[in-house]
Structure 1
Amino acid sequence: MSGKSFVLSEDWVVVILGLGIIALALFGVIVPVPKFGWSNGSELSEKVLSMQNLGAMGLQFLLVYGTAIVGAVLLKKSVKALLIVFPIIYALTVLALILAGNVGVKSFNLEAVIFSLAIGLIISNFFKLPSWFKEALSTELYVKVGLVLLGTTVIFGDILKAGSLGLVQALVVVVSVWYFAFWICKKLKIDKEMSLMLSSAVSICGVSAAIATSGAIQGDNKKLSYVISLVLITAVPMMIFMPYMAEWMGLSQEVTGAWLGGSIDTTGAVAASGTLVGEEALKISTIVKFSQNVLLGIAAFFISIYWTYSKSVDEETKRDKPTFKLIWERFPKFVVGFVFVSLLFSFVISPEVNAGIKDSLKSLQGLWFALAFTSIGLETNFKDLFVQENKKPLYAFLIAQTFNIVVTLILAYTLFG
């Protein structure tokens, strides 16, 4: 037998965790939904902070805590650090949920994910967090578990309807924005490695695309980390302001969702911004983003071909000829989980069973998103963007992102208007 230990990829672990939560609900383990709405001090103490409601929060905590621990074990990450860090993340997230539950706050359409992000950013930018604490954060895992659970609310007919249009939009956006971003990087004389990662991040799906591209070209981790920082930080204002811009322009939820899904780089930020607009916008934005995610494996394949055979690459850095196997290796597997769950709830689960578990699963879905954005805030530092040597990639990213926003808006209005 081989001495190498087998480790599941994060995407497959996400599918296992998401399906596990759904299976528990189907077998009768239905976690009660905590209440966070309040308008005054007495409602806060008697309703939100009542023993019954705190008990519901506690049961939710036990489920997500246990899920996170299982995820860490499957990914062979430090469970010891997670045991300390996760309760802190959960407590900060509950604080965000309580703040967002205020009637006055709700009148401004400010969702819990915005408060989660803000709380995390304040802590990370005013206090120095130890490296072991940051290493225990699993932002992508939390986002993807939430997205697998989102499949319980998206019927397959919606995927076929919006997915075909979303794929057309994704193809045009990915190709046009990728080449524009790469051209801008070339004009600014940014090195090719950084240019490839940055162009993929802007045009396809943010963090996942940057990671996939870095893997395809075996890129430098410092450059990858910088591109990821750009993605996460620029996603914040886009996530917050684009829904309000869409409302100001009078865009429908369908057009807004397609615009958000095609423009915002991180899948979690797309889900959060879609939530700000409405249920239909959330569905369309997620499906459009998934359409772009599907292209990730194909893009990584062609990027690896380009990198391998580029005349500017030294003979020593050339790799073996890539195969179509790379497409599957780079394909975001959590999309498989999302589609499977959508099929399950579209054609197998009866409406009666679904009615008994949908509120619990939807609450958990929102909680995973909020946990993810608390984590994003905790791992993001604004100072990293303004180092002198990093200004050119910052300029390139902002220019390309502006181009992306305009092109995607035109396509979204044309296809979904």
Structure 2
Amino acid sequence: MKTTIAEVHKHVGEEVTIGAWLANKRSSGKIAFLQLRDGTGFMQGVVVKAEVGEEKFQEAKSLTQESSLYVTGTIVEDTRSPLGFEMQVNDFELIHEAVDYPITPKNHGTEFLMDHRHLWLRSKKQHAVMKVRNEIIRATYEFFNEQGYVKVDPPILTGASAEGTTELFHTKYFDEDAYLSQSGQLYMEAAAMAFGKVFSFGPTFRAEKSKTRRHLIEFWMIEPEMAFMDHEDSLQVQEHYVSHVVQSVLKNCTIELAVLDRDTSQLEKISAPFPRITYDEAIQLVKEKGFDDVEWGDDFGAPHETAIAESFDKPVFITHWPAEIKAFYMKPDPKRPDVVLCADLIAPEGYGEIIGGSQRIDDMELMEQRYEENGLTGPAYEWYLQLRQYGSVPHSGFGLGLERTVAWIAGVEHVRETIPFPRLLNRLYP
């Protein structure tokens, strides 16, 4: 019977066959220990000379790293294994012998590993990070589907920018100018006016020449947009969504979190509601922590966000930012027009902003004023203005950066390890 490593718990005491690769091996006298992986997980196969014979045992000892094979044996419980099971190997068939696999069981430099990203993905830690990423995506679909959201796919090629063109990749669209999308938000607002509650999940691009551990050139965003919801409604959706994702990873990725040595006690604290502070209070807080050069109207950098996060054991919302440093479409606070009804969600443990969101301007005249102030002219923005012309309603939305969220939940320092094939300032290969 063929099965997978993820399913061996259903076959204790049974003889099964698994297609696998040899991640590593060691031998001790008359026993060989094969570290097997099949994509669904990692498991040890034990080859005993007395049971398989001299010839097969010597063949097992000569297997090379990353060779592929069919392994047949009996599944037994093993409390020492993270998986809880191992295979007593009866037989195996070599499919392909790998020769001189470059990523050996020793320390390699980051650039070497990034040059071999197509192979590095096979390693136990990288496999665990990608499984956490997959669980976050699965839990995202689960949350929004259960809440009655409709998934809508915005275009990647656009004729307009959501937040200015200075950090956009420009291309020619036949005889027109076009850009790679930095956000699907404007299109999601249109979708919300048709379906009420929507979300998108797709790649976005920022031509930002940054080399920090938090930045990628190409990354993935989850962007919900909600009609008839104000700023407060949106904050509640955000905190319940993030809580759901974290708890799903804790429940379904126990092996992966253990592989990553993640301190899960920090994640177990993550449940709605989240603390909230205003931008004014955040300015005061960072000043108290020694950042005397920060003034009202400044944006926060990574050190400031970390200082703020250290004061809380959950993600914290920073609300009511100065209008002058936020996007043109954000709704001003009716009680204080110099700030907007928005929030950034700062993750704990120094991982920085993972969500940015706001209530959107729904007033036609005010949006026309914002167009004029920001020089948004031409047909590329006309359709967006019409959303306020035909049945405008209060609406809000937000965007969650997947890779930063994976880095935080998995406890990985650099976002380059949270996406299968990262695109960095100096890296377009592989």
Fold agreement, TM-score > 0.5: no
TM-score normalised by length of structure 2: 0.26
Higher share of residues assigned strand: 2
Query: Which protein is richer in helix relative to its size?
Result: 1
TM superposition score normalised by structure 1: 0.26
Considering only CA atoms, is the larger Rg found in Structure 1 or Structure 2? 2
**Higher RCO structure, 1 or 2 (CA under 8 Å, sep 6+):** 1
